[in-house]
Chain A
Amino acid sequence: MKEFMMIFRHEPNNSPQPSPEQMQASIKQWQDWIGGIAAQGKFVSTNRLGFQGKTLKPGNVVTDGPYAEVKEIVGGYIIVKSDAIEDAVELATGCPILQVGGHVEVRDIMEIKK
């Protein structure tokens, strides 16, 4: 099986802090989705990304924020195992980011030969 990375992109929302109940519900949605992938034996690893970020450009130019020029930010990623990219896209259909107007970018991971 090959490995694919799903990158979760969304627009940073400026709405007030979610309530603990909303947070709990959101965590459950994500964990149920990831748990479902893991139950198929296709889970590799995952991480959430925070809101800190800096971008380095040629000429040692450093800009603040992950979303200096684009509207979207990357909220996190998951790495899964599947036979082809179509299967990985199928796994992505349940991703909770889709319910808040975000989208998932599915990329194949190039193996680095050592």
Chain B
Amino acid sequence: MNDGIRARIIMLRVLALSLLVTLGARLWVLQILDNDRYRRVAETNRVREVVTSSPRGMILDDQGEALVRNRSSLVISVNRSTTDRQADRGRAAFAQLSSVIGMPVDEIEKKIRFCSATVAQPCWNGSPYQPVPVAQDVAPAQALAIIEHPERFPGITADLQAVREYPFGSLAAHELGYLAPVSQEELDRQAAARKDGESGPDKFHLNSLVGVAGLESVYDEQLRGVDGVEGLEVDRFGRVSGTASDTPPVPGNHLVLHLDRGVQAAAEQALQGVLDKLPGGPHARTASAVVLDAKNGGVIALASLPSYDPSVFTGGISQEDYKALSDPANGIPLLSRAYQGTGAAASTFKVVSTAVAMTWLGAKPKQNFDCAPTLQIGGQTFHNFDGSSAGPITLHQALVISCDVIFDKFAYDEWLRDGGLRNGRGPYAEPAEHFVKMAEAMGFGSRTGIDLPGEAPGAVVGREKARAIWEELKESYCRRAANGYPEEKDPVKAKRYQQYASEACVDGYLYNAGAAAQFSIGQGQYLSVSPLQLAVAYASIANGGTVLQPQLAKAVVAPDGTVVKRFEPVVKGKLPVPGDVLGYIREALHGVTSEPGGTASGVFADWPKDIIPIAGKTGTAEVEGREDTSWFASFGPVSDPRYVVVVTIPDSGTGATYAAPAAKQIYQAIFGVGRPAEMPGGLPPGDLPQVGSDGQIDVLPSAALGPAAVGPAQSAPTSPDAAGAAPPDGRLARPAVLTARPGVPAGGASAAGTLSGGPRAPPAGLAG
């Protein structure tokens, strides 16, 4: 054999060796360098997750009544990993099922097919290992037929599942919120976080329901709990060969609110009563009411009409329903006017101006100011509300009878001192802007921070801001000035708008004297407030100067009853107002309901003023093209203010005519005047409701809820309207009209002249 062959065999040797080395290198890359990545792939290949939803926590009112709870629904599900393995792919079982629940086999098969780009609803978009629900709320007999004959229904199960339930329908719908299936974006975000190395159990799974509105969304984390996940080991054909892991579901915590179901219901009924009586009826009309705990910022009621029943969102809302809920022609029921709507606060805002005058402008308690019928500012004439003149009066009286001109004058003088029209031009001293500063100190112009999404911030516009806004809008003003308003049908209006635009185009940066004066009486372009903001401001006056953040949530309680978290009051600020000034304002507001000539004295004529003195302020905001917005902002009892009640009814009339009576009805419900009390002893419950270890909630025992009611006989008869508005479904089985309770002396009206007495104190019951 010659050496040529030997040489070429050596080359073959090298070739063979290099082939093997190539393979070895590739093997190294895959097994050693890429091992982690592929190990995860192999893991997901092998383990399929079956998710058991955790029972979501309830939302309870201050006394333990469930506002949102879970209802058991008998659900029939088809487990495709079982039915697909049968020779007929489950058809026989489906036929059996069809005869039990009366659903055609065809429909069952549609419901369990997997969704895809080409397969639209009905279909299943969850995991193939997850049982597919085909019928909900079936009769127990139907469920039993399936449970008792598993051999006839292979792969078909009937079990109880939790469905969100709202026992009080539309009550507090805006606050409670609703659930919706988790969005793909949320799932993607979770997957991205997982990639970034975040550990722990997955928050969401395909088909998970999450809170997307109201408290359900804000406290989703607390309410949701942790879904149970069973990791099933499967082979390539999806056959289950064992369990790799099993994490049982952790039920969500309950959320206890400051909100009181009874007061909320009373507030909604009072508003509805007003809307029903308005000319033209409630159609597309709105109304809102806020009840705050002045001591801690707790939200006891937050009502807005029109409302809706959140159960329309259960199982997915239809396009049609959603459209109806967002239609302005229906008053946009999805929107809460109490914290998402803003407008002019009108005379209720005069408390701010009074505080400014007495704190910073040197006004004295006994000092008289001229409540002239008119005031000339620039080219404009400002009138008192009804053009009346009261002559020289104190600020106390100015609040009681709601004189405008005195406050206009204060604001106008302030405007002059601050440089008048010369907004930021030239070497002038820094403008004091006392009115703007006081408004901001009381919380106007910024969000209150309530634990609800989508709160409206309102607006408080000072000189600098006015200029900034103008800079932003200048172009559109000038365009409008040139082009007019062709879309406006009324030529007169169009002309006026254009006139306004051309003025604004030129000198819109100037701080308008008229608007600055109107600011002091809660009107004009520089001010816009939400009812909730007004309630926070009144709470700060009532409680001696503390601006509190309104809070719905009081505590988070675990299913076993342990308190996970208490929400302490959050202080946002202190009013820059001396205590005696606040006392003066409180006294004046008391006069509004109690003194002759007080704007709300007529409404509260039959009120047991001596026992439960109420302080309040009416407001009537003029809105172009509509009826006035009626306001009433108030608190009580004056001696030790606990509750702040603010009612707003747009497109109605004066504050005294519409809002004040509604507010009175709310006080009646709180204190039990002419009806059972919703707040036992006139006080919010001091303790959290007890949650048993079995998840059962004890509604506070009725004995502890001793009604602190004032019978109608004590004072002037309650107006028929108010009595008629008393809810027939009083909480528990409390007597509609109070009788003397043992131990309470008859005719004890004078003895029980006050409602104070601390939490859980014996109720100050009264009887004729």
Q: Do A and B form a real pair?
A: no
A residues with CB within 8 A of B: none
